[in-house]
Structure 1
Amino acid sequence: MRRTLVAAVAALALLLAGCSDARNDPPATSPSATEPAAPVEIPATPVGEATQWILGEMNAEDDTDPADWASRLHEDFTSQVSAEEVAELINTQIRPARPLVATAYEGTEREAVTRVEGSLGAPFDLSVVVDGENLITGLLLGPAMPPREAATSIDEVGERWAALPGDTRVLVTLDDETVLSTEPDAASPLGSIFKLYVLGAVADAVAAGTVSWDDTVTVTDDVRSLPSGELQDAPAGTEVTVREAAEKMISISDNTATDLLIGLVGREAVEAAVAGMGHHDPALLRPFLTTRELFALQWGGHDDLIARWESGDEAARRALLAELDGRPFEVGIEDVDDTVRWQHDLEWFANADDIAAAHEALHARGEADAAVTGALTMNPGVRIDAAAWPEIAFKGGSNIGVLTGSWRAVRADGAVLTLVVLSSDDTAIPLTTQSELFGLVEDVFTLLAE
């Protein structure tokens, strides 16, 4: 994170003309000076309020104070970039371009990107992520991405997905018609889409009467995972209901909630759900990893285990996880790097057909149990016209070199759209690719709205 933040702000310094040390040499007559654009309204969401505060600090008459940043930044963030460094970067590289105005805003409750324009230089994007306590866990300033042109046909969507770096496997169906298909039977890393199978296992346990949605699970230090989510920051002993954990697992991809639910129903129950929900080769997901296990293998310094995992059969991998459980979990946000490891089988795998089947299986469970549908429809993932698509079930995911999304949506006339896109590469996926991939998803919903 430190490298990313510093590099991004350094890039901005090149865009904000004359701002490398504006207090010594104010560029009052810079030819790049422009009138600020009209502002947009920023919503009063947790991330919206954090964004408003940051803009206020950028525009204040006096320099921003490190002490104010220290009270706003999560400790995982400041373990990599100090409040003093953030304040210095803002004061020397950003504030000289004030007044700074938000001219575009896109976000959810806890993640947002704001386009900011100043009196000097080019616009830039301010990306902010906050946790359940409204502390800033992610802050990125970078050159503004150019406006994206929407696709005008499904064929164009397919061509543009195919042109993305790496492999992009796609399945789009409308009722019984295949609208778009690219290697839908090729197994791909899923990122957090695997959590659909955990939800299925929990729903099966509720249907069997062994678990209730009102039962509670308890956060403990030996189950605490890494972000995304909120429960990784909850004190040990925090209790949440099974319903709340399931909703967090799906809507905000809470990893600790996921591992709590796997622990509740058992690894074998999730593996049974994988088979029962139509996976073409359930052995690809055996043993079924928890997020904590994956993070330990990826970034916990257990290089001796990675080769054994990749070459081992199911029995060897189960033994390896037992061995891993006996080692201390010493992984923090600061240990996460951009090394791609999914090629070592350190991921969850399925193909697009499998994920479409999983959505259908969960829809069937949701018809009998509204809690399943409730969890799946809390977050649509992208901007979709709710009048045209009144019911949208979504789960997406990401890892280093992995970006995925899956939807089962009901159109206003009752037609059912299923969309699965699984993208993977041998390098980290850049923001431009992320924007194009999910922008094309929005285009599909727009093109098939009637």
Structure 2
Amino acid sequence: MRRITRGHHPHPVRAEPVEAPFFLAPARKQGRPFDKLRVNGSPLRRVVLAATLAAMLMPVAATAQQAAQPPAAAAEDTATLDQRAADLIPLLNGGGDVPAAFAPEFLAQVSEPQLRATLAQVTQMLGRAEKVATLSPIAAHAADATVAYEKGTLTLKFAVQPEAPHRFIGLRLTGTQTGEQSIDEVAAAIRALPGKTGFILTRLDTPDAPPIAAIEPDRPLAIGSAFKLVILAELVREIAGGKRHWDDPITLDGGDLPGGFYADKAKGTIATLRDLATKMISVSDNSATDILLHTLGRDKVEAMLPVVGIKDQSGMRPFLSTLDMFKLKGVDGGKLGDQWLTLDDKGRRKLLAEKVAPAPIAAIPAGLFQDNKPNRLGIEWYASPADLARVMDWLRRHTETGPAAEARRILGLNPGIPADTAAHWAYVGYKGGSEPGVLDMTLLLHAKSGGWYALSGTWNNPDAALAEGRLIGLISRAAMLAAER
């Protein structure tokens, strides 16, 4: 089975995000001094939704030895922490001397380019770091800090060596907040982004209620891997009807798959529907997605489009697999894709059968998407923010009880927003999508007071790569503000 190793969020040649935003949490390994970070629970990728962050952070916690230090030493350590926190500001802004600031054991786990790429995602979202706003020691040589940026704040933890020059041995970014004070301010900031944007925040369990806030809510836009929600909906329909069960085994047939967990698995490997759905949604695994699509059938997934509320279905017909899309954009310099864009539905289906399906996976160039430039955004999955809100509402209503409730659990594995924001909700379900020039974040939110909401934001720009962190921050801020309503 051949693998596209260049896999990205839905696409093969970028390392896969964001999937989600880049609020970081450690994936602990016993006995290791550093923890490999994951992006919202998924393996490190080029943060988008999702692009991917690559960083190694040491969890910082007080030890008995540190706690027993005498007051004089504690005062000295506090001064050291104050100084080292201040030293972070130029580093956060892309300057400073990384080898001088970070201990060799830290840099052995994360390279300077990886570290700088991670920090650049924050400045992309919040502007320049201005000052350390708060500092709270949590151990003799570790502290919590809040950094004020032009457009918000960053919270972090850090730890330094006990001995001079007190290089950093741990750094963990724990959350961000943009500065918008209302949903209307968030909407205005999204509207101001270059290119085309769409946004909706709406109450789902109040019949005929108008959106709380919206920007072009009915305009279809490219949504990247958010299309996988429709595949999940068809799976839910079949499971709720008793036709399929979560533990049904699917045997890999050895056919070509895009990058993902199953791309390297041998013919005859067995995966359950639960395994496939979990990977498709929580880490946006492309191989799992294509296996599920082929198992369920393109025709049945397309038949779900009007059922789940996609009003203009032309942007999802024919319903492409991720591998179909990679071939259209990459094979023969994109000539298949150029032909696709000139055809009607019937012609596109013929092209898929006669030219796209037979095209070898090796014909997809290794450099596809590596330049981070938008590539034929007309070849995508299209839906409006209001469409995606209706899809989430359909999933909400059809996963309340019975076997289908497992899908709601799966939707909640990767909340797509930072943990401190998600904690303001009783439940957060999420799916996003991205490729160069495309970013979508769609959330299903259950308020602690009982109400259900959908929040969806999409940004397209066919002319330039996106400052993805900006939309990620704005959607996260909208989720926080909506929880406080």
Helix, strand or coil for the counterpart of 1:390? strand
CA offset digits 1:144-196 (Å, max 9, x no partner): 42334121112211121112121111111135342211111111001001001
For residue 153 of structure 1, what is the amino acid of its counterpart?
Answer: S
Change (3 A) 1:222 1:140: farther
Helix, strand or coil for the counterpart of 1:295? helix
Distance 2:31 2:54 in 1: 13
Match of 2:468 in 1: 434
Helix, strand or coil for the counterpart of 2:332? coil
1:212-223 alignment to 2 at 5 Å? 212-223=245-256
Helix, strand or coil for the counterpart of 2:213? strand
Matched, 1:355 2:397: no
Change (3 A) 1:106 1:198: closer
Checking the alignment, whether the CA contact within 8 Å between 2:373 and 2:465 is kept in structure 1 is: no
For residue 388 of structure 1, what is the amino acid of its counterpart?
Answer: H
Distance 2:56 2:90 in 1: 11
Match of 1:99 in 2: none
Match of 2:116 in 1: 141
Checking the alignment, whether the CA contact within 8 Å between 1:157 and 1:443 is kept in structure 2 is: yes
The alpha-carbon deviation at position 438 of structure 1 amounts to 1.3
Matched, 1:314 2:327: no
Structure possessing the higher relative contact order (Cα contacts under 8 Å, 6 or more residues apart): 2
Matched, 1:108 2:29: no
Distance 2:39 2:382 in 1: 29
Change (3 A) 1:439 1:48: farther
CA offset digits 1:386-408 (Å, max 9, x no partner): 44201111110001210001011
The alpha-carbon deviation at position 221 of structure 1 amounts to 4.4
CA offset digits 1:89-137 (Å, max 9, x no partner): xxxxxxxxxxxxxxxx8843323465998989931589xxxxxxxx99x
Matched, 1:152 2:181: yes
Match of 2:106 in 1: none
Residue 324 of structure 1: which of 334, 342, 356 is its match?
356
Q: TM-score, normalised by structure 1?
A: 0.69
Checking the alignment, whether the CA contact within 8 Å between 2:25 and 2:38 is kept in structure 1 is: no
Residue 227 of structure 2: which of 181, 185, 194 is its match?
194
Change (3 A) 1:302 1:106: closer
Checking the alignment, whether the CA contact within 8 Å between 1:247 and 1:375 is kept in structure 2 is: yes
Checking the alignment, whether the CA contact within 8 Å between 2:234 and 2:296 is kept in structure 1 is: yes
For residue 108 of structure 1, what is the amino acid of its counterpart?
Answer: N
Checking the alignment, whether the CA contact within 8 Å between 2:249 and 2:271 is kept in structure 1 is: yes
1:211-250 alignment to 2 at 5 Å? 211-226=244-259, 229-250=260-281
Distance 1:379 1:156 in 2: 26
Distance 2:262 2:32 in 1: 20
Match of 2:201 in 1: 172
Checking the alignment, whether the CA contact within 8 Å between 1:387 and 1:412 is kept in structure 2 is: no
The alpha-carbon deviation at position 265 of structure 1 amounts to 0.8
Checking the alignment, whether the CA contact within 8 Å between 1:170 and 1:422 is kept in structure 2 is: yes
Distance 1:192 1:395 in 2: 8
Matched, 1:305 2:336: yes
The alpha-carbon deviation at position 50 of structure 1 amounts to 9.8
Helix, strand or coil for the counterpart of 1:294? helix
Change (3 A) 1:221 1:106: closer
Match of 1:294 in 2: 325
Change (3 A) 1:160 1:428: same
Helix, strand or coil for the counterpart of 1:168? strand
Distance 2:319 2:345 in 1: 10
Distance 2:29 2:299 in 1: 38
Distance 1:403 1:159 in 2: 18
Change (3 A) 1:141 1:324: same
Checking the alignment, whether the CA contact within 8 Å between 1:392 and 1:409 is kept in structure 2 is: yes
For residue 116 of structure 2, what is the amino acid of its counterpart?
Answer: L
Residue 371 of structure 1: which of 398, 403, 406 is its match?
406
For residue 219 of structure 2, what is the amino acid of its counterpart?
Answer: A
Identity across the alignment (%)? 29
Checking the alignment, whether the CA contact within 8 Å between 1:43 and 1:49 is kept in structure 2 is: no
Change (3 A) 1:220 1:300: farther
Match of 1:102 in 2: none
For residue 141 of structure 1, what is the amino acid of its counterpart?
Answer: R
For residue 123 of structure 1, what is the amino acid of its counterpart?
Answer: L
The alpha-carbon deviation at position 353 of structure 1 amounts to 1.2
The alpha-carbon deviation at position 207 of structure 1 amounts to 2.8
Query: Number of residue pairs matched?
Result: 348
Distance 1:392 1:237 in 2: 36
Distance 2:338 2:443 in 1: 35
Change (3 A) 1:48 1:341: farther
